[in-house]
Amino acid sequence: MHSTKLFTAAVASRLEDLFEPTTAVAFPGKRIDTAPLTEWLELTIDSLSEEPARHQQLQLGSYSIGIHVFAKPTSTIYRAQILADQLRSEFDALNLEISDPDMSEGQTVGFAKFSESQVRDLSRPEVTNREIQHLLLTWRVLAQPTSFS
């Protein structure tokens, strides 16, 4: 892997495939207007550390990512938890294929192995005076190239 761009694109694409159009997805480079929404997800890449490699184009990388889950009160009071459970079942221990659209036929250039997730409830209705549910799911991810040639 040679950039966080490919990693971010792979994770964002997976999220969009799984959740849109019913649940909007925001990620670095894509903004959404949340005012009319009752639920949405936001992807963040919190940290990156790349291991030194002789071949600059292919590097091992360790990421810390977060997916924020937001849900406004509706008839389903546990909507944020339902979305969090869906995310956990899709991403926990996932081995995500990373491809490069600039290479022939979107060639696979690496894989990203997700750890088990941790979930935190960041809802603070007493501070924000809103009843919005806010959960944060975090994963450690090890990304590695398909080869070092």
Instruction: Enter the pTM of the model.
Output: 0.87
- The pLDDT, as a whole number, for residue 70 is 96
Among the residue ranges 22-26, 100-104, 140-144, the one predicted with the least confidence is 100-104
Mean pLDDT rounded to a whole number for the chain: 88
Q: What confidence score (pLDDT) does residue 117 get?
A: 98
pLDDT tens digits, 80-103? 999 999 999 999 999 999 998 888
CATH code of the domain covering residue 100: 3.30.2000.30
Question: What's the pLDDT at 24?
Answer: 97
126 — pLDDT class (breaks 50, 70, 90): low
Owning domain of residue 51: 4-145
Euclidean distance between CA atoms 10 and 94, whole angstroms? 12
- The CA distance from 49 to 57, in Å, is 15
Task: Identify the pLDDT of residue 1.
Answer: 44
| CA proximity to 109, closest of 63, 57, 65 | 57
Nearest in space to 70 (alpha carbons), one of 16, 34, 44:
34
Helices in the chain by DSSP H: which ranges? 4-19, 79-91, 125-128
CA separation for the pair 43, 147 (Å, rounded)? 28
| Count of Cβ atoms closer than 10 Å to residue 137 Cβ | 20
pLDDT of residue 74: 81
The number of domains in the chain is 1
Query: Using one digit for the tens of pLDDT, what is the confidence trace for 37-66?
Result: 999 999 999 887 766 555 545 567 899 999
